[in-house]
Amino acid sequence: MIMTCVRLFQSLLFLALATTVLACTEDEPKHYPGSCQVTVEILSQDVMAIDRVETKNWTDENLTRVDIDDGNDGTINEIETYTVDPATNLLVRKELDTDANGVVDTIEDYFYDQDTNFLVLKKVFTDADTTPDWFYFYLNDSEGRLERLEVDQGADNHVDWVRAYTYNDDGSIYSIARDNENDGRVDEIYGFDYQYTKYTVTTLLDKDNNAIPDHVMVQRYDDGGNLQEETTDVDGDGVIDQRDTHTYDCW
């Protein structure tokens, strides 16, 4: 049976500035038999060639490392590493080496409610010191879904902007209300709609509330619920701008 919750595409994650807490599921299989490597080839329609390759390494069903070849020239340009708490199986740290020189450039630390294990705080360190540069505060509903995201840009104890989330009956995101200055006014509301077939999930984003999709993503899965292909139309003109192909070495 195909998975009915979808991962938000990267541009939406940027717009909402949330992490995978926004996702109902990951884009990888639900269970890996031990270690697994997933290769994602990203084809840009602008150049009609694969211009980015991401190699994702999983151990004991947890993502541990991503090697990024930006340019598809065989050279790793960026490395992401992930640390999971073995007691809770929750992500506690992400480290980003932006030029693959062995030096960590950005660190993200994750903190959870001790009773529910819901994510409540992310601290981001963008330089070599031990002082956070960003705070992300997550407020969740009783089911662990993100209801409100407050972001302190600069870690100066002042919330700079806010996002509020609602969900449909399936548990997928229905809307994101954006307060870009934390003045209590909603500046934009992004609406989401979904279309399902046996093997595909289509996510439609309406950014200006005119009932016309501005961003369309189609995800195609196999019988096991593993993502095989993802196409994105970034401006809703009916032309595919990016195509991501996923291959697995787990079986």
**141 pLDDT higher than 70:** yes
Angle at 221 between CA 217 and CA 227, to 5 degrees: 75
| Residue 1 clears pLDDT 60, i.e. is over it | no
Task: Give dist(CA 91, CA 109) in Å, integer.
Answer: 9
- Digit-coded pLDDT (tens) for 44-65: 877 678 999 999 999 888 999 9
CB atoms within 10 A of CB 160: 16
The model's pTM: 0.85
d(CA 229, CA 226): 9
Burial of 150 (0-12, 13-18, 19+ CB in 10 A): middle
For residue 45, the model assigns a pLDDT of 76
Q: Is the pLDDT of residue 121 over 80?
A: yes
Tokens matching residue 60: 């004991």
Domain positions in the chain are 10-248
Percent of the chain at pLDDT above 90?
76
